[in-house]
Amino acid sequence: MDFKLLVLDVDGTLLNSNREMTERTIKTLRKVQQNGVKIALASGRPTHGILPFASAIDLDFNDGYIISYNGAKVTEASTGKVLFERRIDPQMIPYLEKETAKSDCHLAYYYKDEVVATDITNEHIIDEAQMNGLKLRQVDDLASEFDPKNGEKKHWPFEVMIVNDDEQALGALDQYFQRHLNGVLDTIHSNPYLLEIVGYQVGKSYGMSALVQILGISMNEVLAIGDGRADINMLQMAGVGVAMGNASEEVRRCADFTTLSNDEDGAALAIERAFEEEKEKPEEDMEVPVDVLNAQNKNTLMGTLGMQYTFASPKRVEGTMPVDGRTRQPFGILAGGASLALAETLAGLGSLIVCKPGELAVGMQVSGNHVSSAHEGDTVRAVATPVHLGRSSHVWNVDIFTSTGKLVSSVRVTNSIIKKDF
């Protein structure tokens, strides 16, 4: 897989626990750009707060990009030109203030070189301002900052931050807004004390998708690295998603690989390995084109159940399957048998790729643990990786996830390797 774009989260990924970039990370990122790879820094920070790191890795001299406000804005690092943006209609702010008044919450938003907040003595709001190099400005309410007669979108906020030390209260507020603002605004519960309200269909994955379209490349040519909840969709959408060693189990399950932590140069290590493998990739590690395989399987069980291969190599096979009338149980959740069929299909392809000339792989045993449910209307994603590749048998582990990264089933598939009977 030839990567043309590297998308990096900032806090917890690019930066260590001291919020610093190490020399190794800086050198690695400069070298990658010298080899023609574009880099985009993707963060919940405002653009102003990302610029120092972009400058340190010469993003402005190498036609790099900044994805700020959790994907609400995409900017050219060299010119400051805005390539994509999606803002919040300020008419929604009085509603947000009314609903958050029921809890002990403080509101804030970024404006130019300021953090404008309802309580500038709050430690989390002070931290936001300090880490982004911004000034603090106190206001009684955010709604008063916007003139209802001013319809120019350039004055609209990119996000509103809701701060509360009560994680349960903030989680309940998140669920409430998801129900009542669906199709209007989106929420990002990025850490225990911070809930971010952003425009509809805003997220790092949307900003990354906009940039991919602008560059005219394929999502398979993107390597993404992150550590937080806000990075999950970005890691799932990229050709290869890498989770940091300091990421939660929830995030690691949604990635293709996990590297070391941000205090162990994990991002630099993942990048070095990825691009070294591009340079010296042995034939047995080459990616297998899946379009032809999918076309050949239209009239098989795969086609009947709507399965699709999305990636295939000797070390990993991925695929998807819809949860619909073909694969669900009568009460609307994914049938266990359909999960096993998907797992056997991916493991079977993996073994066929690994088999030597004159060999065949046939299913011998399958066993699965179904740990949660996937509901009708979703599309599950499965990842098969080899546990054992022997001369007479192959064992594969296949994990199946919902579109939001929740583990549905973990399946073990054993294939028998036999000689073809010519």
| CA distances from residue 229 to 83, 183, 204, 254, 372 in whole angstroms, order as listed | 25, 20, 11, 10, 19
| CATH number of the domain that residue 101 is part of | 3.30.1240.10
Residue 80 has pLDDT above 60, yes or no: yes
Q: Which residues pair with 38 in a beta bridge?
A: 5
| Same domain, yes or no: 322 and 413 | yes
Predicted pLDDT of residue 182: 87
| Same domain, yes or no: 230 and 370 | no
Nearest one of 228, 109, 95, 99 to 161, comparing CA atoms: 109
178 vs 221: CA distance, rounded Å:
32
Letter string b/e over residues 241-255, b meaning 16 or more CB atoms within 10 A of that residue's CB: bbbbbbbeeebbbbb
Query: Would you say 143 and 94 are in contact if contact means Cβ atoms under 8 Å apart?
Result: yes
Helix or strand holding residue 370 (H, E):
strand 359-370
Nearest one of 139, 137, 113, 108 to 124, comparing CA atoms: 108
Predicted pLDDT of residue 101: 86
Cα angle, residue 249 at apex, residues 248 and 251 outer, rounded to 5°: 70
Overall average pLDDT of the 14-37 stretch: 94
Predicted pLDDT of residue 143: 87
Query: Would you say 323 and 378 are in contact if contact means Cβ atoms under 8 Å apart?
Result: yes
| Same domain, yes or no: 272 and 359 | no
What is the per-residue pLDDT across 114-141, written as a single tens digit (0 to 9) for each? 999 999 999 999 999 999 999 999 999 8
152, 180, 199 — which closes off a domain?
199
Sign for the CA dihedral angle at 341, 343, 347, 349 comes to: positive
User: Percent of the chain having pLDDT more than 70?
Assistant: 94
| CA distances from residue 142 to 11, 91, 408, 421 in whole angstroms, order as listed | 27, 11, 42, 75
| Same domain, yes or no: 102 and 67 | no
Q: pLDDT-based confidence at 283, cuts 50/70/90?
A: very low
> In terms of residue numbers, what domain contains 30?
5-83+203-279
Q: pLDDT-based confidence at 153, cuts 50/70/90?
A: low
Predicted pLDDT of residue 281: 46
| Same domain, yes or no: 195 and 207 | no
| CATH number of the domain that residue 269 is part of | 3.40.50.1000
| Same domain, yes or no: 405 and 306 | yes
Q: How far apart are the first and last CA of the chain?
A: 35
Lowest mean pLDDT among 97-106, 230-239, 337-346, 408-417: 97-106
Q: pLDDT-based confidence at 53, cuts 50/70/90?
A: very high
| Same domain, yes or no: 381 and 411 | yes
Overall average pLDDT of the 297-313 stretch: 90
Q: Is 119 exposed, middle or buried (0-12, 13-18, 19+ CB in 10 A)?
A: middle
| Same domain, yes or no: 232 and 361 | no
**What residues act catalytically?**
344
Residue type, 74: V
pTM: 0.65
Nearest one of 297, 306, 396, 303 to 346, comparing CA atoms: 396
What is the per-residue pLDDT across 355-401, written as a single tens digit (0 to 9) for each? 887 788 999 999 999 999 999 999 999 999 999 998 889 999 999 99
Predicted pLDDT of residue 422: 41
148, 173, 199 — which closes off a domain?
199
149 vs 145: CA distance, rounded Å:
12
| Same domain, yes or no: 384 and 253 | no
| Same domain, yes or no: 103 and 149 | yes
| Same domain, yes or no: 181 and 107 | yes
What is the per-residue pLDDT across 169-224, written as a single tens digit (0 to 9) for each? 898 899 999 999 988 999 988 788 999 999 998 999 999 999 999 999 999 999 99
